[in-house]
């Protein structure tokens, strides 16, 4: 009995010399959509979230103005808005603009334009 165990023989070794780095010719552009379609039909789905969350634009109408008014004035104001098919804040701004234009107050009119631009 020898002191060393027998080593395994790898005489059936394989040859990899024929495989060399090379850019494969003729692969062309893989039709990504075709692959995706086949993959999805086979239950293989994309992990990339393709739906982008739309960022809601912040409203410029952030400040509140409380006014005291006569009876039925509030309803009249709202009726104007309904007639113009706009919301209350737009009715209010259009009323301010009309007043400034009527009075011809240039500096205040400019201030209005700066605020609303």
Partner 1 sequence: MPVIVFASSKGGAGKTTAAIVLASELARHNTSVTLIDVDPNQHSAKWAQKEGRPSNIQLVEKSTEETIIDDIDNAQAKTAFVLVDLEGTASMAVASAISRADLVITLCQGSQDDADEAVKTIKLINRQGKVLNRTIPFSVLMTRTNPAITPRTLKHIMSELEAAGVDIFKTSLIDREAFRAIRSFGGTVNDLDIKQVSGIEKAAANAHALAAEVIAKIKETNEVRSESHG
Residues that bind partner 1 (CB under 8 A): 7-8, 10, 12-24, 27, 30, 32, 34-36, 38-39, 41-48
The distance of closest approach from Cβ of residue 26 to partner 1 in the complex, given in angstroms and rounded to an integer, is 11
Residues ≥6 apart with Cβ < 8 Å to 91: 77, 80, 81, 84
- The answer to whether residues 84 and 93 touch, using CB atoms and an 8 Å cutoff, is no
Measured from the CB atom, the residue of 11 and 75 that comes closer to partner 1 is 11
Residues ≥6 apart with Cβ < 8 Å to 90: 81, 84
Measured from the CB atom, the residue of 38 and 115 that comes closer to partner 1 is 38
Residues ≥6 apart with Cβ < 8 Å to 94: 84, 86
The distance of closest approach from Cβ of residue 16 to partner 1 in the complex, given in angstroms and rounded to an integer, is 5
Measured from the CB atom, the residue of 4 and 75 that comes closer to partner 1 is 4
Scan for tokens 């992990």, then name that residue.
47
Measured from the CB atom, the residue of 20 and 63 that comes closer to partner 1 is 20
């Amino acid at each position: 009995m020898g002191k060393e165990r027998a080593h395994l023989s790898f005489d059936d070794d394989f040859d990899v010399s024929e495989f060399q780095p090379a850019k494969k010719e003729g692969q062309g552009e893989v039709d990504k959509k075709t692959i995706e379609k086949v993959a999805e039909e086979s239950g293989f789905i994309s992990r990339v979230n393709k739906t982008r969350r739309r960022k809601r634009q912040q409203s410029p109408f952030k400040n509140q103005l409380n006014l005291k008014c006569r009876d039925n004035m509030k309803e009249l104001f709202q009726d104007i808005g309904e007639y113009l098919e706009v919301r209350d804040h737009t009715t209010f701004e259009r009323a301010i603009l009309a007043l400034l234009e009527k009075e011809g107050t240039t500096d205040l009119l400019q201030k209005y334009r700066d605020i609303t631009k």
